Every structure is written in structure tokens, then in C-alpha cells.
Amino acid sequence: MFEVPLDLQILCLVILEPRRDDINKGTQFTDEFKRDAVVRIFERGYAVSDIAERLGISTKSLYTWKAQFSKPPHVRAEVLDQAAETRRLRRELARVTEERTILKKATAYFARESQ
């Protein structure tokens, strides 16, 4: 079996053009694209900076993907669950804080009227 040159691998990734979802925070790559980029680091032994430069992404993104996809699936699931719980708790905190603010204003309003 022969080794496919890095340039050809990168060209294949670019030609296949990963589906990108435009979100307010910028361009998001699909998990498949991220995994493919990480595979080139682990299995082929290429430098992160080399892959990042050729794909046109930051090394920070690639290091983040590397950390994310190097974990076993059950650990990734736990991390996703914790992130979802954190988002839920933040929404609940915002709601409760708003309720408290409304009650404070109502208390002040009725205290002024009773005088």
C-alpha cells in the first residue's frame, strides 16, 4: 500500500468542500470535516500547523478539534450533556433573575402607593 501525499489529501478535502453552516459566530465545519482533519494528525503524523495552513483554518481550531475527537465517544457524550445542562441552568437563572427584578419593582411601586 502506498502513502497518499499530504497535498493530494488536502486537495481532496478542498474539492469535496465541506458543508458549512453559517451561524452568527462564524463558519462552522461539519463533524466529518473535523474528524478528517484530526485523522491526518494522528494517523499520518502531520504537524498541526501544516494541516491548519493547508486547510485555511486556525491552529487553535485544529487543536480544539484534536482534543474533542481524541476522547472516547462516551466521554464526548458526557461533555455534551454537561454543556446542555449548563445552558439550561443559565436560561433558568436568567428567568429567575428577571422575575426577581420584576418583584423588586412591584414591591417598590406598592410601597410608594401605600404612603
CATH of span 1-70 = 1.10.10
What is the spatial distance between Cα 75 and Cα 105, in angstroms, rounded to a whole number? 45
What is the spatial distance between Cα 62 and Cα 34, in angstroms, rounded to a whole number? 8
User: What single-letter amino acid sits at 66?
Assistant: K
Q: What is the pLDDT of residue 91?
A: 97
> Residue 104: what are its φ and ψ, rounded to 5°?
-60, -45
> Strand, coil or helix: what is 13?
helix
Q: What is the pLDDT of residue 88?
A: 97
From the list 41, 84, 44, 81, the residue with the least C-alpha distance to 61 is 41
Written as tens digits, the pLDDT of the chain (115 aa) is 456 666 656 656 555 555 444 333 566 788 888 888 888 888 878 888 888 888 888 999 999 988 888 777 787 788 889 999 999 999 999 999 999 999 999 999 999 988 7
Domain extent listing, the chain: 1-70, 72-115
At residue 75's C-alpha, the angle toward residues 47 and 89, to 5°, is: 115
